[in-house]
Amino acid sequence: MEHISPHDTENFTIWHLLLITSIISSIIILINIIRSLSKELGGKAGKMDTSAVLYLLNPVMYYTVLQKIHEFQHDVSRTLLNIHYGKISLEDPSFREKVRELLFVCGDIAQTLIGRPVSVNIKLFSLKNDDNSSSLFKGKLSEAKLKTFVRAPSKAEYEDCMRNGESRRNIEEFEIVLGADNKPELLKKRYPDKSDAARVNTAYNQVLGPRDHFWVNNNLVEAEKESHFWSNSLDWRKYYKSMAVFIIAQNIPQGEPVGKTHRAMGILIFDSPATGRFSRRLAAIVLGYLAHRLHSVFRQAAKIPSDSIETKE
Per-residue pLDDT tens listing for the chain (313 residues): 455 555 555 555 776 677 677 777 666 666 666 666 666 667 777 888 888 888 988 999 999 999 999 999 999 999 999 998 888 887 788 899 999 999 999 999 999 999 999 999 999 887 555 555 444 555 565 567 788 889 998 877 766 665 665 555 655 566 777 666 667 777 777 777 766 667 888 888 888 776 778 999 999 999 999 888 988 887 788 889 999 999 888 777 666 666 555 567 889 999 999 999 999 999 999 999 999 999 999 988 887 544 444 444 4
Q: What is the largest CA-CA distance in the chain?
A: 97
Confirm whether 309 is domain-assigned. Answer: no
pLDDT number for residue 304: 59
Looking at residue 175, which CATH number applies to its domain? Answer: 3.30.450.40
Q: Is 221 left (phi over 0), alpha (psi -120 to 50) or beta?
A: alpha
Confirm whether 233 is domain-assigned. Answer: yes
pLDDT number for residue 13: 73
| Among 244, 245, 39, 272, CA closest to 154 | 272
pLDDT number for residue 89: 80
Residue 281 amino acid letter: R
Q: Is 209 exposed, middle or buried (0-12, 13-18, 19+ CB in 10 A)?
A: middle
Confirm whether 234 is domain-assigned. Answer: yes
pLDDT number for residue 66: 96
What is d(CA 168, CA 172) in angstroms, rounded to the nearest whole number? 9
Residue 272's DSSP bridge partners are: 242
Confirm whether 247 is domain-assigned. Answer: yes
What is d(CA 132, CA 149) in angstroms, rounded to the nearest whole number? 10
Domain extent, residue 217, equals 51-302
pLDDT number for residue 309: 47
pLDDT number for residue 69: 97
pLDDT number for residue 250: 77
Judge if pTM exceeds 0.85: no
What is d(CA 200, CA 25) in angstroms, rounded to the nearest whole number? 49
Confirm whether 30 is domain-assigned. Answer: no
Domain count, the chain: 1
Backbone angles phi, psi at 177, to 5 degrees: -100, 125
Q: Which residues lie below 8 Å from residue 51, measured CB to CB, with a gap of 6+?
A: none
